[in-house]
C-alpha cells in the first residue's frame, strides 16, 4: 500500500457522489481531505480502478521534500 494524492481537476465543486464512492472503496483509507484533494492510502491497482472510472479526477503518488534546518549554525571562530 502506498499514499496517493487524489485531485479533482474538473470545473466547479467536486461531486459528492464521487467522494462517497472513494471513501466506500474497500482497502482504501482517506487520510486527509481538502476542497479539491484527498490524501489516501491504497494499492495502486485499487486506486487506478476506482479513480480511472471517474471523469475529472486524477491521482499521483505522494512525494515528500526534505527541508533544510532553518536554525542558524554557529560560525567557527578563528583558530589559534
Asked, for residue 22, whether it belongs to a domain, the answer is yes
Asked, for residue 79, whether it belongs to a domain, the answer is no
Q: The domain that contains 25 carries what CATH number?
A: 3.30.70
Number of structural domains found in the chain: 1
Q: What Cα–Cα distance (Å) separates residue 11 from each residue in 44, 56, 59, 68, 71?
A: 26, 8, 16, 37, 42
Asked, for residue 76, whether it belongs to a domain, the answer is no
pLDDT confidence band for 79 (50 / 70 / 90): low
Asked, for residue 14, whether it belongs to a domain, the answer is yes
Cα 80 to the chain's mean position, in Å? 53
Asked, for residue 26, whether it belongs to a domain, the answer is yes
Tally Cβ neighbours within 10 Å of residue 45. 9
Asked, for residue 66, whether it belongs to a domain, the answer is no
Asked, for residue 73, whether it belongs to a domain, the answer is no
Q: Using one digit for the tens of pLDDT, what is the confidence trace for 1-57?
A: 899 999 999 999 999 999 999 999 999 999 999 999 999 999 999 999 999 999 999
Amino acid at each position: 500500500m502506498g499514499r496517493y494524492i487524489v485531485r479533482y481537476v474538473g470545473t466547479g465543486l467536486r461531486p459528492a457522489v464521487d467522494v462517497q464512492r472513494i471513501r466506500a472503496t474497500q482497502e482504501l483509507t482517506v487520510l486527509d481531505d481538502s476542497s479539491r484533494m484527498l490524501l489516501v492510502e491504497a494499492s495502486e491497482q485499487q486506486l487506478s480502478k476506482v479513480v480511472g472510472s471517474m471523469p475529472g479526477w486524477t491521482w499521483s503518488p505522494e512525494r515528500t521534500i526534505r527541508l533544510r534546518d532553518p536554525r542558524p549554525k554557529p560560525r567557527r571562530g578563528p583558530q589559534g
